[in-house]
């Protein structure tokens, strides 16, 4: 099929994004160790958020226990957004390093429980994308059981939630973190152009 070449879309490389990882954990006393593990495995970290209480849902309580906290880190080197599924697969593996096997009983039968949950995502000037293993109508299957969703969009000088955005990602506390990471991202883009 022939047509006017000028009307065809030109395939271009993706603009690189800022890799962020949200860390949910009950091991707050081991935060430095956990962050060092990420740095050793993935690359240099250029931002660490304050440690924040995580009391938006009890979804993780039965597995992780109570007093769950969250911290976000971002990585200095920008990444090709097509690599997010690979990163999610790798962080799932890293979660096992901090898992514990619960004593066998009728309810748990010796299963492993996470003490750390890594939530990788990509931030750019216009959005925040998260990777997940859970399917839903608004999530796009990428590969090997990994889905991605646009969680926040940047419009009118701020991040806006979408109907499916998690409750914690809607908060002013998180928005301040993402705004800071976005500033670092934009500075990084200027440095490479």
Mean pLDDT rounded to a whole number for the chain: 91
Domain region containing 110 = 14-192
Report d(CA 110, CA 108) in Å as an integer.
Answer: 6
25: left (phi over 0), alpha (psi -120 to 50) or beta: beta
**Is residue 5, in this structure, part of any structural domain at all?**
no
Residue 4 lies in a domain: no
Decide if 139 is inside a domain: yes
Q: Contact 42/83 with Cβ under 8 angstroms?
A: no
Nearest Cα residue to 100 out of 42, 22, 27, 38: 27
Quote the CA–CA distance of 81 and 104 in Å, as a whole number.
41
Query: According to the model, what pLDDT value does residue 188 have?
Result: 84
Long-range contacts of 54-60 (CB under 8 A, 24+ apart): 54/24, 54/168, 56/166, 56/167, 56/168, 57/167, 60/24, 60/117
pLDDT in tens, 50-73: 999 998 888 888 888 889 999 999
Q: At 171, phi and psi to the nearest 5?
A: -80, 155
Q: Is position 108 within any domain?
A: yes
Residue 7 confidence (pLDDT): 56
The mean pLDDT value for 109-132 works out to: 92
pLDDT at 100: 86
Q: Is residue 144 part of a domain?
A: yes
Helices within the chain (DSSP H only): 31-42, 61-64, 84-97, 172-192
Position 105 in a domain = yes
Q: 24 in a domain, yes or no?
A: yes
Closest CA to 122 of 142, 136, 137, 97: 142
Global confidence as pTM: 0.89
pLDDT at position 31: 94
Rounded average pLDDT over 5-28? 87
Please indicate, yes or no, if residue 3 is contained in any of the structural domains: no
Closest CA to 88 of 121, 63, 115: 121
d(CA 90, CA 184): 24
Q: Strand, coil or helix: what is 105?
A: coil
Number of compact structural domains in the chain: 1
Residue 1: band (very low, low, confident or very high) from pLDDT cuts 50, 70, 90: very low
Helices in 22-147 by DSSP H: which ranges? 31-42, 61-64, 84-97
């Amino acid at each position: 099929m022939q047509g006017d070449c000028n009307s065809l879309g030109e395939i271009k490389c993706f603009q690189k994004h800022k890799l962020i990882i949200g860390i949910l954990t009950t091991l707050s006393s081991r935060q430095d160790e956990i962050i060092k593990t990420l740095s050793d495995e993935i690359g240099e970290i250029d931002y660490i958020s304050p440690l924040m209480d995580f009391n938006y849902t009890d979804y993780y309580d039965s597995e992780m226990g109570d007093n769950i906290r969250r911290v976000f880190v971002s990585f200095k080197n920008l990444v090709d957004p097509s690599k997010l599924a690979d990163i999610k697969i790798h962080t799932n593996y890293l979660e096992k390093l901090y898992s514990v096997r619960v004593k066998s009983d009728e309810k748990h039968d010796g299963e492993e429980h996470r003490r750390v949950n890594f939530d990788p995502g990509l931030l750019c000037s216009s959005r925040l994308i998260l990777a997940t293993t859970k399917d839903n109508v608004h999530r796009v299957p990428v590969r090997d059981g990994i889905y991605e969703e646009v969680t926040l969009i940047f419009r009118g000088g701020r991040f806006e939630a979408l109907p499916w955005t998690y409750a914690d990602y809607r908060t002013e506390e998180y928005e301040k973190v993402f705004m800071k990471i976005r500033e670092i991202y934009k500075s990084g883009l200027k440095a490479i152009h």
